[in-house]
Structures are given as structure tokens and as C-alpha cells.
Structure 1
């Protein structure tokens, strides 16, 4: 999947009230952009960071700009828009990039399921040899020494999703936790036990119960380190669950 229009570069002034970010454009104009991320964004909002915004021409929108990318550290980009990973994962599955999930002719999004009243990000069905696959997608942007960590804040919602996935395995279906690695500096993914030890413990329990855990990294920049306008998932990266 690609951005439909070229992104607008700016410099981050501040993020506040979770969903707002003030950005200085190259001509000196300051704009307020929508920040589509409910997490802590740990490591993804350094002072005066280069950021890239998408621009909407919808006159009914209160905020014209949406924050999409940030240069988390020099030469490394991260996509902070958590509305993007589901589409990235779906495109990768439908294109055959995700070998683990190949062979499913039907892909549906936001299907209600589970005793805890959840919505699965992707439901894959119609495989000739495999049961339906329930796929929960998570965005990974927290990087430390080339390691990606999830979550970046305590997540009771994420814990609920793991319980729901385990229940699907118990019922005879496949359940998959799909980490979309939206940070170009990440080489492997680990549970963030130092941030949410309960999530890390539950993730290992889920893997032991048969929940499949995979991770694919997005292509966010070209050889010059600048945004490429492309958000395609291109390669798998290892998920390390050992303590």
C-alpha cells in the first residue's frame, strides 16, 4: 500500500492531548496535525524530529494534516499512524507476501468474535487444507538497539486479544498475532517485559497454547533514507520470546 499523495515534511514542536501535534513546516508555518496513535509513542517523538504529514482536501475535516512518519533517530523512520498496519497486513496477505498465511481466498476485516466482545483485524477463510485463521495485527515502533518491543505502554486491551486468540485455537481454528514492524531500524521483535510484564507472560502462554506469532517489516524509505511513499511489508523478521 502507498500514500496517495506526497507527504509534507516538517519539524515536530510537541505532541499533546494524545491526539494532537504541533508541527513547523519548511516555510515557518506552524500547523496542528492529528496524531493517530493512542500509545505512549516511546522513542517516536524526539524534540525537533523530522516528521511527515499527509494532507486531506476534505473541507469538513477539523484538522487538515495527519502525522504519518517520524525520523525516530537519524536515518531511521517509523510510522506512528496506527490506522495503517491493518491495511499493510491485509495487502501483504492478499499479495502472497506472508508465506505463513498463503492460500486463503477470503479476507474479512473487523469481524466480531469472542466472549470478551472483540473484533478481529483479519479473518482468513476458504483454505483447502487449513482451518480459518484469526489474525490480530499490532504496530511495532519501539526500538532499542535494533530490537523492537511491544507494547510501548501497559495494554489491558492487548492482553484481552491474547486471551481471545487462545480461545480460537482451543476451538480448532488458527490464531495469529501479526506484528507489523513499522520502524526501519528493527531487526527482531520481543515482548516488552520491562513495560508490561503481564503482556509478556500472557504472550508466551498464548504461543505455548498454539497461537502463531509472526512479524513482517515495512519498506518505509529509499536508499537515501527519505520516505519512499510506500508502506509495503517486504520481509519477515524473527520474534524472540525467550527471556
Structure 2
């Protein structure tokens, strides 16, 4: 995914109310912008961090600048949670995620489960349906290891249960963890921050749900999926690359 125009560098002053951030431009001007990530953004809100913002000229927008990338541990990290579905679709079409590219039809945001919408629905006359749920990942606290989630997510656990239901109904179900950083070679479930999600993940894997993690190359001009990294499955299991 190439940005419409190069992102603008700045220095983060603070991120607050989840939706807002203050920053200082390279010429010293201060500004307030919107933050397209309502999560905790653990490890990515340190004052003084280098950031990159997109700029929008629409007269209906309250804030012209929107936060897109934060530098952490000498790595550029994409934080916009509006991008993972688009990046996951790109990864699928590029053939990076198992054999998902071989399905005939790809649809977005289809109703299913318990009053939910699946991020991507794949269909094929010969192979049936494949339900693909996408999660944004940007948290890392150990070298080369990405973790999800970075805070409790009851919604995420619900999605795992619904994917398991789809498998039991005779369909294929897939979790795609979209890692918006390039310094990680492994994806682990963050069991200490959200044991409920971890238990739901274990149940989903036991029921036949597949899990893949896609690493991205992040720069001020584009964010691009570049390949799979290994995923840790049930508690105590070794990390392995799913293909």
C-alpha cells in the first residue's frame, strides 16, 4: 500500500483521549491531529518519539494531520488500524498467505456469526467458504517477537469463538495477524496481558482454525506485506512457521 503522498515527519508530544495527539513539526510549529487507533498503543506513545503523519485537505475534517507511523526501538511501526484489512487482502492476492490466493472470489465485511462481520470472505465453487479475520499487531517487548493483544480484548476472543463455529459448520476459518513492523520474526499470543484471549486462541486452534502472521515493511512512502513469520500456537508449544 503506497501512501497518496509522502508522510510528514514530526515529534510526538503526547497521545491522549485515544483519538488525539499533539506533535511538533521540524520547523517548531505545534499541532493537534487525529489518532486512528483507539487501543492502548503500548510502547508507542513515548513523548519525544519520531512520528510520521498523513495530511488531509477535506474541509469536513476537524484535524488535518493523522498519525500513521511511530518509531520505536529504531523501527518504524504502523499504527493505523484502518489499514490491516487492506494489507491482508494485498498479502492474500500476492500469494503470501498459504493457498488463500487461489480462491475464486474475495469479499470484504460480510455478515456472519453472532451479529458480526468477517473482515474477508473467500469463496470458491469447488472449495467452499473461507472466513478470514484480521488483527493489527504492533506490540513488541522482546527482540524480534511481536505480541497480540497488547491489552484485553473481549471482542477479539469473541471473534475466535465465531471462527471455531465456522469450522464446525464445515467451512475454513483463518486468523491473520498483520504485523505493521519489520523487526519481528515471531508472533506470540500475549498470555499475561489477556489470558482470556489466550484461552480462546487455544480453543480455536484445537477446533481447526488456522493462524498466520504477516510481516510488513514500513516506510514514510508505503507499508507493504513481505511474508509470513512464525506463530506460537497453544501454551507451551514451539514456534513454527505456518504455510
Normalising by the residue count of structure 2, what TM-score does the alignment of the two structures yield?
0.93
The match for 1:168 is 166
Q: In 1, are the aligned partners of 2:96 and 2:228 still within 8 Å (CA)? A: no
Q: Which of structure 1's runs of 4+ aligned residues deviate more than 3 A?
A: none
Residue 230 of structure 2 corresponds to 238
Tell me what 2:201 maps to: 203
Determine if contact 2:120/2:133 at 8 Å carries over to the other structure.
yes
Alignment pair present for 1:27 and 2:19 = no
- Aligned partners of 2:108, 2:29: CA distance in 1, in Å? 39
Q: CA deviation at 1:101?
A: 1.1
Is residue 54–residue 67 contact of structure 2 (8 Å, CA) maintained in 1? Answer: yes
Q: Output the CA distance in 1 between the equivalents of 2:34 and 2:152.
A: 23
Contact 1:45 1:72 in 2 (8 A): no
Name 1:133's counterpart in structure 2.
Answer: 130
Trace 1:1-243 onto structure 2 (pairs within 5 A).
1-74=1-74, 76-114=75-113, 116-126=114-124, 128=126, 130-145=127-142, 146-221=144-219, 227=220, 229-241=221-233, 242-243=235-236
Secondary structure of the residue aligned to 1:132 is: strand
Per-residue deviation at 1:100? Answer: 3.4
Task: Name the SS for the 1:207 alignment partner.
Answer: helix
More strand by share: 2
CA distance in 2, matches of 1:45, 1:199: 24
| RMSD after superposition | 1.2
Please state how far the C-alpha of 1:173 moved relative to its aligned partner: 0.5
- What is the TM-score of this pair, normalised by structure 1? 0.93
Unaligned runs of 5+ in 2: 237-243
